[in-house]
Copies of this chain bind each other. A is one copy, B any other.
Amino acid sequence: MKQLWLFNQINSDLQKVEKELTKFVETDYPILQESGIHLLTAGGKRLRPAFTLLAGKFYACSIEKLIPVAMALELIHMATLVHDDVVDASLTRRGRPTVKANWGNIVSVETGDYLLAKSLILISQIDHPEVSRILAEVSVEMCQGEIQQIKASFDVEQNLKQYYFRIKRKTALLISACCKLGALVSEAPRHQVWALGAYGHSLGMAFQIVDDVLDITAKPSEFGKPIGGDLRQGIMTLPMILALRSSPKGSRLHELLKKVDKSDAEVTETIHLIKATGAIDQSMQIVDAYISKAKRRLQDLPKVSSRKALEDLADFIAVRKF
């Protein structure tokens, strides 16, 4: 687990989540055990559990009530990651080989199903009528986002609406659910549940755009996965769509972005062309707008320490390098 200084106030609680997660995914089946532990120890920022814990902290919710929710959300996230790796054909994530790279598609499918099934056990024990419905609806939307991404790959004609549609489902809805459910099980007032959900939504949008920018601008050593992955897979991200807008139809950039098997030199050339259009700056302006929107959602919430943490977290999203 990559420890973020931002999580100082929930550090010991996050460690409890970590410990419980490790115990909970334990199984007598060596392959599942290894692939599960591989995923867990591959790190990750544990953003999703952190959001749940911080949301619950507004209402002094007991950690015992929050931990299963936080665990279920991280398990859903891990399950989608391992299934996405089959889909994306990625071979590294968080600086380490993916489950797919180590064990192949078959084990990836089963590991994802197993982690999801384990999350369902936790969810079935959460004593709140709305939690399972919200998570089921988010799961359906996440699949639809993933399918839209497959369909739209290498499509240089797509517009911003399609992009926002996709990242909402790919990232924002689950982060929004993390915040919302933390508040919900803490019996927060309705309008504050909504506000935290809206915060998570805007923050999730910003988070994914930054991820898409980093795929073009990051240092591989910091980013944990190879640069240009989206380019190679034909996933059209915000910087690409914005760069296409300022390039004439039939330009070299159009040609390269459409190309299915790009050589390393072509990937480098594409990155160079995108950067030259100013699309990275434009994308980061949109990130800033989402971050401001996220922070505004917190204005009516109690002024407690977790509000400050969520504000800082929003600021961190925009400057993160990993």
Measured CB to CB, the residues of A under 8 A from B are 27, 29-32, 80, 83, 86-87, 105-107, 109-110, 112-114, 116-118, 120-121, 123-125, 132-133, 135-137, 139-140, 142-144, 146-148, 150-151
Contacts and interface: CB of A to CB of B under 8 A. Distances in A.
A150 B31 contact: yes
A288 to B, nearest CB: 32
Contacts of A86: 86, 105-106, 109
Given A120-B139, A135-B120, A150-B107, A144 B83 contact: no
Contacts of A80: 113
18 contacts: A29-B144, A29-B147, A32-B144, A83-B113, A87-B109, A106-B150, A109-B109, A110-B143, A112-B113, A113-B142, A117-B139, A118-B140, A120-B136, A120-B139, A121-B133, A124-B132, A124-B136, A125-B133
Nearest to A144: B29
A262 B83 CA distance: 30
Given A117-B139, A121-B136, A136-B121, A30 B151 contact: yes
Nearest to A125: B133
A99 to B, nearest CB: 13
Contacts of A30: 151
Contacts of A132: 120, 123-124, 132
A38 to B, nearest CB: 14
B147 A32 contact: yes
B123 A136 contact: yes
Contacts of A117: 136, 139-140, 142-143
Contacts of A124: 132-133, 135-136
A192 to B, nearest CB: 23
Nearest to A87: B106
Given A124-B133, A124-B135, 17 more contacts: A29-B144, A29-B148, A31-B150, A31-B151, A86-B86, A87-B109, A106-B150, A109-B109, A110-B143, A114-B147, A116-B116, A117-B142, A118-B140, A121-B137, A121-B140, A124-B132, A124-B136
Given A105-B86, A132-B124, A135-B120, A113 B29 contact: no
Contacts of A123: 132, 136
Contacts of A148: 29
A85 to B, nearest CB: 10
Contacts of A137: 121
A148 B28 CA distance: 10
A248 to B, nearest CB: 31
A78 to B, nearest CB: 13
A151 B104 CA distance: 13
Contacts of A140: 114, 117-118, 120-121
A133 B143 CA distance: 23
Nearest to A151: B31
A76 to B, nearest CB: 10
